[in-house]
Chain A
Amino acid sequence: KQEVTQIPAALSVPEGENLVLNCSFTDSAIYNLQWFRQDPGKGLTSLLLIQSSQREQTSGRLNASLDKSSGRSTLYIAASQPGDSATYLCAVMNRDDKIIFGKGTRLHILP
């Protein structure tokens, strides 16, 4: 049974720092992995989607990597800003189309 774990559960960093969020999954037979952002009281916003055949995706200050064999993904945020404060969720889509989410990392960027 696929399990997705995200560490740390919460993170506070000063504005301007680069940071890494971690996601691990137990079953490497995934179809894709997606990183989302969730603001309080809101839905999820897709940040990056990595296909199972890809190693990384980049969008602006965000870079996500995928190492399927070790069951790990990282989300790198460069030059963090207060507006980056949110909960970041990692989700894997299994080959049976089921989607499993991690519990998320609550990120707080200190001005």
Chain B
Amino acid sequence: EPEVTQTPSHQVTQMGQEVILRCVPISNHLYFYWYRQILGQKVEFLVSFYNNEISEKSEIFDDQFSVERPDGSNFTLKIRSTKLEDSAMYFCASSVIRNQPQHFGDGTRLSIL
């Protein structure tokens, strides 16, 4: 069965550095999402992406964050000037269309030192 894959599985970065989290959605899916889950807390929606543009974003997704689909397969989340509170699991998801189940990757654990 096709899967959403995320790399790396664990990223350790110094505070203030930039990180890029990578995702390969399922190939025939059109909607893409990023979520984060701070340890012990709820899964939080960050952004949805469709037709090469952001379709919706949460209050968390400020100027520090950006997303990109640089080619036909990858979907990336860039976090600039990382802060300690950015430490979390970041999940990528994709769906065929908006009203279909989302398929999640296993996540990238981001640790900011």
Contact = CB atoms under 8 A, between A and B. Distances in A.
Interface in A73-111: 89, 91, 93, 96-104
Interface in B59-108: 91, 93, 98-107
Given A31-B99, A46-B102, A98 B58 contact: yes
B100 A97 contact: no
A42 interface: yes
A45 interface: yes
B104 A99 contact: no
Interface size class of A (residues with CB under 8 A): 20 to 34
The winner among B41, B43, B99 for most chain A CB atoms within 10 A is: B43
Contacts of A89: 43
A57 to B, nearest CB: 10
Contact of B42 (A93, A97, A98, A103): A103
Contacts of B33: 99
B106 A43 contact: yes
A2 to B, nearest CB: 11
A52 to B, nearest CB: 9
A102 B100 CA distance: 19
B55 interface: yes
A102 B44 CA distance: 9
Q: Secondary structure of the A side of the interface? A: strand
A59 B92 CA distance: 24
Contacts of A34: 101-102
Interface in B9-31: none
Nearest to A99: B45
A101 B99 contact: no
Interface string A41-53: 0111110010100
A24 interface: no
A32 interface: yes
Given A43-B107, A97-B55, A99-B33, A49 B44 contact: no
**What are the 9 tightest A-B residue pairs by CB atom distance, in nearest-first order?**
A43-B104, A97-B56, A46-B101, A101-B43, A44-B104, A99-B45, A43-B106, A49-B101, A101-B42
